[in-house]
Amino acid sequence: MLNKLKTAIGPAAEAHPFIAAGASGRRVTHPLLVIVLAQVLYVIGLLPSLFLIGPLLEWIPQISGSNLVVAALVGIARPIVGFLPFYAVLWLWLRFYERRTFSSTGFAFDRTLVTGLLAGFALAVAFVAALIGVGLAAGTVRWHGAVIFGQEGAAVVLLFALVFTVAKVVEIGIEEQLYRGWMLQAVGARWGKAAGVLVSSFFFALFHFFFIGYFVLPGLRSHEAHWVLMLNIFLWAVFAALVTLRTRSLWTAVGFHAAALTIPVLLLTLATPDTVDGAAGLLVFVIENPSHYTGGVGFAGPFEGLAATVVLLVLVAVAAVLEWRSSRRTDRQCGQTARALPSGALRTVGSPRSEQRRPRASS
């Protein structure tokens, strides 16, 4: 399986359309600079959210009195509007430095937005159901009850789940674009697809534990750096990168990431002994003894615990095999095309004139 994984992410970067899209502008930012800028741009995006948009949204309900409609609208707008500066900062870099489109990073606003998000939601349901199944089999999770919605009722809880998921799509989208879009393309274009997947996944995991904003901005907290959670976030990142390469879009990864954080809270709920009394969901389960090995001790949701490790390993293996098969099929098609072309045509493709038109990588 390891050899298949290496083969799946091993062909040259220019052979993959998603990575090639990263070189569609005038310049390609050097991967080492992207590694630094991914965190710096995130901090810059945080500043207006923390010091302008956040205080403004807190001020609006105060001047409107106890208007519940206004309070609800502000609650919905807060996570959505608050993350718009993040996208604006990256857009400015792509537009004025690299000179390429925002959509070239994997965010095309076409039918793939809907199909990709729905596919991601379906994968998230399967993921959460599988890790609950592993927990039940291992005896670390027990059944609690079904259709538990409390005094709010099913309609309110399901509506909240929908709004929460949309907010998570906006919030998580910038992480996916920075690491699964921008960094994966930049590293892959210079050092190959394997490096793109592994380097972007490593620094995505590192971002969740050693983000520079935790040290310079108030009110932020990181995940506890336990090896199980660190491994799980890295495995998730590898899976998401392989899915992104296969779909040539970020929407499936974004849908999975957002729904995976919503489903265990409001639908296939994973509660702890301390939170089960207030838990709501279609199906509710309880983690018997929360720990870093069983989950339920942090705020990473279903990405905690060894049950998640098992499921993520399976997902990575399946995604790797599918990408390997896709790469082999592409290689065969390229070989057939090359054999069908006259030898002069091949020389023309690799001629100095065509090489001069390739974008430059920044130093």
pLDDT of residue 68 exceeding 60: no
Q: What does the pLDDT read at residue 185?
A: 96
- Read off the tokens for 315: 């997902």
- Going by C-alpha positions, the residue among 13, 281, 302 that lies closest to residue 157 is 281
**pLDDT by residue (tens digit) across 112-156?**
999 999 999 999 999 999 999 999 999 999 999 998 887 777 887
pLDDT of residue 361 exceeding 70: no
Ranking 8-12, 13-17, 69-73, 337-341 by mean pLDDT, the lowest is 8-12
3-state secondary structure of 36: helix
- Read off the tokens for 83: 């993350």
Count of residues in the chain: 363
Q: Is the dihedral of CA 276, 277, 282, 284 positive or negative?
A: positive
What's the pLDDT band for 359 if we cut at 50, 70, 90?
low
What's the pLDDT band for 339 if we cut at 50, 70, 90?
low
Question: Where in the chain are the domains?
Answer: 2-340
CA pair distance 46, 39, nearest whole angstrom: 11
What's the pLDDT band for 10 if we cut at 50, 70, 90?
very low
What's the pLDDT band for 215 if we cut at 50, 70, 90?
confident
Q: What does the pLDDT read at residue 65?
A: 59
Cβ-contact 125, 270 below 8 angstroms: no
> Bridge partners of 291?
295
- Read off the tokens for 277: 């009394």
Q: CA-CA-CA-CA torsion for 340, 341, 342, 343, nearest 10 degrees? A: -110
What's the pLDDT band for 334 if we cut at 50, 70, 90?
low
Q: What does the pLDDT read at residue 81?
A: 83
**pLDDT by residue (tens digit) across 86-115?**
999 999 999 999 999 999 999 999 999 999
Longest distance between any two alpha carbons in the chain, whole Å? 77
Distance of CA 112 to CAs 57, 90, 108, 145, 241, Å?
A: 32, 21, 7, 36, 17
Q: What does the pLDDT read at residue 28?
A: 92
pTM as predicted: 0.85
**pLDDT by residue (tens digit) across 292-301?**
999 999 888 8
3-state helix, strand, coil in the chain (%, to 5): 70, 5, 20
Which residue would you say has higher pLDDT here, 304 or 159? 304
Q: What does the pLDDT read at residue 3?
A: 47
> Bridge partners of 283?
146, 268
Q: What angle do CA 243, 120, 198 make, to 5 degrees?
A: 30
CA pair distance 78, 58, nearest whole angstrom: 9
CA pair distance 355, 342, nearest whole angstrom: 20
| Rounded mean pLDDT, 35-48 | 93
CA pair distance 327, 324, nearest whole angstrom: 5
